Amino acid sequence: MGRFMIFLAVSSIVLILVNIYLSKRYGKLLSDHRSRIPARAAAYVLFSGLSLFLSSLFFQNWIYQHRALTLPVRYISAFYICMVIYSFLLFLAGGSLAFLGSLFKIHHKLNSSLSKIYAKGLLVPAVAMMITLYAFYNAVDFKVTEYEIFIDKRSAIPSIDAVMISDLHVGTSIGKKEITEIKAMIEELSPQIVFICGDLFDHASYEEIMRFTAEKLGSIKTEYGTFFVTGNHEYYLGDMSEILSYFEGTGIRVLQDETIMIGDIYIAGRKDIRENERIPLSKILEGTEKIRPVIVLDHQPNAIDEAAENGVDLQLSGHTHNGQLFPFNYIVGLANHTHYGIVDEGALKAVVSSGIGTWKYPVRTGSSSEIVRVRVNFLK
């Protein structure tokens, strides 16, 4: 929690500075076009948005207790942060183009046009708005990403068609309508097994939507079953035993630092890494035959080294959202062992999903909301 508060403090300072910059740029835009709206209105709007956005972070627990406030605050905050990020990047790009134009003595008319379009901000608000609207749409435009994995171990089962989903964060961009759609998309893929790799629930999830989600996903018909491991956000909800009770009788098997067998294939599910009493993987896999395939479900992709050291063949993870918003998809890899796609670590292969839901704000750019289909092949 201490690291998160430091993150919030630093982010707040950065946002205040960016708001000051954008207030000046948008204020100048209003002045240049002799708008009836006073230039200072830009600062009022931006700092009102900042206040609401910071409230959604610092007072989130209070907001989540009042469901009527949760979605409006999240959607308005999402609109604000997208407009700020992409206005800033567009103004920055415009300034850079104008600077390069003067540096390399680009033709005066061309340089003047670039300045009008970007530096004076004629297109900035329009383009930032288009990106923001796309971000809302993209958050619920679910896609299927397919991988094929080859494991160099023998099994009586030649291959398994698996579906993995993670990071639904139901109650944010995912409601009952979206859960029903996700279930239908999974069923169309006809998987033999389904893995739910954490952060199914978070602060915005309420009892009704959690029960509905568990029952819907638990009713998916598969040959080998549906399995769930906890993510970090399940822990934020408080009593874990109460959270896990929603899965009882639904057809979803919860794996908490334990190993089961599907035929002659080991499936190990780990508690999230933030769990202080998480059991070492070597203990979880104690007694397993290393000549048999081993698949591990672990919400965060930060223990891939440990999986490789313990002879795991395939790890399935989520958590990163692949940054969720551009350009953070290029930054999030710095905080994780890996942030998206397939990773080879010796004989181990790890698949990291960008998730099908969104963290906190129902917007996504630079990544997709995805269902992951993995065909796992074994030696005969």
3-state helix, strand, coil in the chain (%, to 5): 45, 20, 35
Residue 309 φ/ψ, nearest 5 degrees = -65, -25
323-337: pLDDT as tens digits: 999 988 877 767 666
* Cα distance between residue 321 and residue 301, in whole Å: 11
Q: What is the pLDDT of residue 198?
A: 93
Residues in Cβ contact with 156 at an 8 Å cutoff, skipping those fewer than 6 apart: 263, 264
As a whole number of Å, the CA-based R_g of the chain is: 24
Cβ atoms of 221 and 181 within 8 Å: the answer is no
- Strand-pairing partners, residue 166, are none
Q: Which domains does the chain have, with CATH numbers?
A: 2-137 (no CATH), 143-379 (3.60.21.10)
Q: What is the pLDDT of residue 330?
A: 79
Contact between residue 336 and residue 301 where contact means Cβ atoms under 8 Å apart: yes
Strand order in the sheet with 143-154: 143-154, 370-379, 159-165, 193-197, 225-229, 252-254
Q: Is 31 helix (H, G, I), strand (E, B) or coil?
A: helix
Asked if 1 contacts 9 with a C-beta cutoff of 8 angstroms, the reply is no
The continuous run of DSSP H or E covering 70 comes out as helix 67-103
pLDDT at residue number 102 = 63
Sheet strands (E) in 60-201: 143-154, 159-165, 193-197
For the chain, helix (H) and strand (E) counts, in that order, are 12, 12
**What's the predicted TM-score (pTM) here?**
0.88
Residues of the chain with pLDDT under 70: 1-5, 7-8, 30, 32-39, 56-67, 97-122, 333, 335-337
Contact 231, 166 (CB under 8 A): yes
pLDDT at res. 124: 83
* Tokens found for residue 164: 């993995």
Tokens standing for 374?
């993995």
pLDDT of residue 22: 85
